[in-house]
Amino acid sequence: MNIEKKKPKPAEILENKKVGTDYYLMKLKTDNIDEKWTPGRFVHLKISTPQTYDPLLRRPFSLFDIDRKNNILSLLYCVVGRGTKIMSRLVSGEKLDFLGPLGQGFSLPEGKTILAVGGGMGTAPLFLLCRELAFQNSITLILGGNLCTDVEFFKHRFGELDIDIKIATMDGSCGYKGTAVDLMKKHLGVNKDSISKEPTSEQTISKNLNNKRTNDKKPNNKRTNNKQPNKKESNQKEKNNKESGSKEPNREESIIQEKKVKDAGFIEQKKKLDFLYTCGPEIMLSAVKKISDHFGIPGEVSLEERMGCGIGICLSCVCDTQNGNQRVCKEGPIFRLQEVIL
Ligand SMILES: Cc1cc2nc3c(=O)[nH]c(=O)nc-3n(C[C@H](O)[C@H](O)[C@H](O)COP(=O)(O)OP(=O)(O)OC[C@H]3O[C@@H](n4cnc5c(N)ncnc54)[C@H](O)[C@@H]3O)c2cc1C
Ligand code: FES
């Protein structure tokens, strides 16, 4: 266990401002933002000032953006409870500390056709991901929200990137009228009724009305690795991944998935897609997973659980998986979509 990694790192607030109806952007100056700061990883932020212990527990936030050159970390958050309320009142010049970057990041493929699906604030970790992948991949992003105001900030920020952006809002005030999943199906050319047991729009609306991050999910994640590379390769890969916090895409698995896609004879004809990323409300993740399973499209999902330590000790973030329990803070928050049971 790397003790160094667990030492809280100091940070100074450069900016903390409201950027949407419910969204805040906090920019933190810190030390040494290096190659370990990869998309999908998170920081565990101490919101209380050094004089107080209230709130006692740190709060986890995904890396929204990083500026390696100037050592600036950006977090995007919405106020959902006491901790984030306190956070929203902090001003520039105040000092905080955090643990991180923690957890496992997204795979970072090259030369792929990628679809990223984000719902509400869950879209936050996708920004850094898309920024890092945009140069070497073809990316379509589907942004889902209840109202236009939910997606405006993301539309503006993702608009800086060389990616294709599609928007879905429940009230139709921006883009497609419906859910991000409805738009995903349209994008893929999937018949709305061809995939069974998906949540109806009505179910999604009622769930999305509480679209702020809720803790009602019971993710069951399983990560398997069918690939059997030689031992040396394995060890080296494991070492590299541990160091960078990123997971390498499993090539053999990709080939199997690609074959499944071909056998399905559908996506290939309608829309070629190599990889999916998704974050957002659980009902959306579950529907995205069903489509991904149905067509054999490999992908990754960012999960959330309430966290205590954030470093794998307290087990408060444990999820049931087909392989036994997994800690969202340690084995996650990024899991293979195919292995998660939502
Ligand atoms: C890996 C990870 C990355 C995250 N990234 C972001 C991010 O980029 N932006 C962002 O706004 N939020 C993010 N969250 C959620 C964020 O940590 C919580 O919203 C925050 O901790 C709530 O603190 P609070 O004191 O304001 O709320 P509390 O008063 O503690 O809780 C208020 C409400 O929020 C729910 N909640 C609290 N913590 C979580 C959690 N961890 N997951 C789901 N629901 C929770 C509670 O169940 C309750 O309904 C992330 C969570 C995880 C686990
Ligand atoms: S938060 Fe303590 S083990 Fe994950």
> What are 135-192's pLDDT values in tens digits?
999 999 999 999 999 899 999 999 999 999 999 999 999 999 999 999 999 998 876 5
CA distance 147 to 339: 32
The domain containing residue 81 runs over which residues?
3-102
Eight-class DSSP state of 37: -
According to DSSP, the residues that pair with 336 across neighbouring strands are 300
Q: What is the pLDDT of residue 222?
A: 32
CA distance 145 to 205: 10
Nearest to 276 by CA among 185, 179, 174, 146: 185
Ligand nearest to the CA of 125: 1
Q: What is the pLDDT of residue 204?
A: 41
Residues 8-36 have pLDDT tens digits of 999 999 999 999 888 999 999 998 899 99
Q: Please check whether residue 225 is in contact with residue 250, taking contact to mean a CB–CB distance below 8 angstroms.
A: yes
Atom 37 of ligand 1, residue of closest alpha carbon: 306
Q: Give residue 60 CA to ligand 1 midpoint distance, Å.
A: 7
Q: What is the pLDDT of residue 94?
A: 93
Q: Give residue 308 CA to ligand 2 midpoint distance, Å.
A: 5
Residues 271-306 have pLDDT tens digits of 678 999 999 999 999 999 999 988 889 999 999 999
The whole-number average pLDDT for the span 334-338 is 92
Does residue 15 form part of some domain? Answer: yes
CA distance 81 to 70: 31
CA distance 286 to 200: 12
Q: What is the pLDDT of residue 89?
A: 94
Pocket test of ligand 1: the residue of 46, 61, 157 to mutate, having most ligand atoms within 8 Å of its CB, is 61
Q: Please check whether residue 246 is in contact with residue 133, taking contact to mean a CB–CB distance below 8 angstroms.
A: no
* Ligand 2-lining residues (CB < 6 angstroms): 307-310, 312-317, 327, 329
Query: Please, what is the angle between helix 201-208 and helix 282-295, to 10°?
Result: 140
- Name the more confident of 257 and 20: 20
Please give the single-letter amino acid code of residue 331.
E
Does residue 126 form part of some domain? Answer: no
Does residue 301 form part of some domain? Answer: no
CB within 8 Å of 138: residues ≥ 6 apart: 112, 113, 114
- Res. 201: pLDDT tops 50: no
Eight-class DSSP state of 7: S
Q: What is the pLDDT of residue 62?
A: 98
- Res. 262: pLDDT tops 90: no
Does residue 274 form part of some domain? Answer: no
* Ligand 1-lining residues (CB < 6 angstroms): 42, 59-62, 76-78, 80-84, 121, 124, 213-215, 304-307, 333
The whole-number average pLDDT for the span 98-118 is 96
Domain count of the fold of the chain: 1
Pocket test of ligand 2: the residue of 221, 329, 331 to mutate, having most ligand atoms within 8 Å of its CB, is 329
Q: Give residue 308 CA to ligand 1 midpoint distance, Å.
A: 12
pLDDT band at 308 (very low <50, low <70, confident <90, very high): very high
Does residue 290 form part of some domain? Answer: no
In this structure, what CATH number is given to the domain that contains residue 23? 2.40.30.10
CA distance 221 to 88: 32
Q: What is the pLDDT of residue 53?
A: 79
Does residue 59 form part of some domain? Answer: yes
In the chain, the percentage of residues whose pLDDT exceeds 90 is 62
CA distance 196 to 315: 34
- Res. 251: pLDDT tops 80: no
Q: What is the pLDDT of residue 134?
A: 96
- Res. 54: pLDDT tops 90: no
Greatest C-alpha distance within the chain: 62
CA distance 182 to 198: 10
CA distance 234 to 239: 8
Residues 202-238 have pLDDT tens digits of 334 334 333 334 333 333 333 333 333 344 444 444 4
- Res. 332: pLDDT tops 70: yes
Atom of ligand 2 nearest to the CA of 328: 4
Instruction: Give me 205's structure tokens.
Output: 């609306």
Does residue 25 form part of some domain? Answer: yes
The whole-number average pLDDT for the span 321-328 is 85
- Res. 269: pLDDT tops 60: no
Q: Please check whether residue 261 is in contact with residue 297, taking contact to mean a CB–CB distance below 8 angstroms.
A: yes
The whole-number average pLDDT for the span 60-65 is 98
Does residue 24 form part of some domain? Answer: yes
Contacts of 188-197 with CB under 8 Å at 24 or more apart are 188/115, 188/267, 188/270, 188/271, 188/273, 188/291, 188/295, 189/266, 189/267, 189/270, 189/271, 190/266, 190/270, 190/291, 190/295, 194/294, 195/290, 195/291, 195/294, 197/290
CA distance 80 to 129: 24
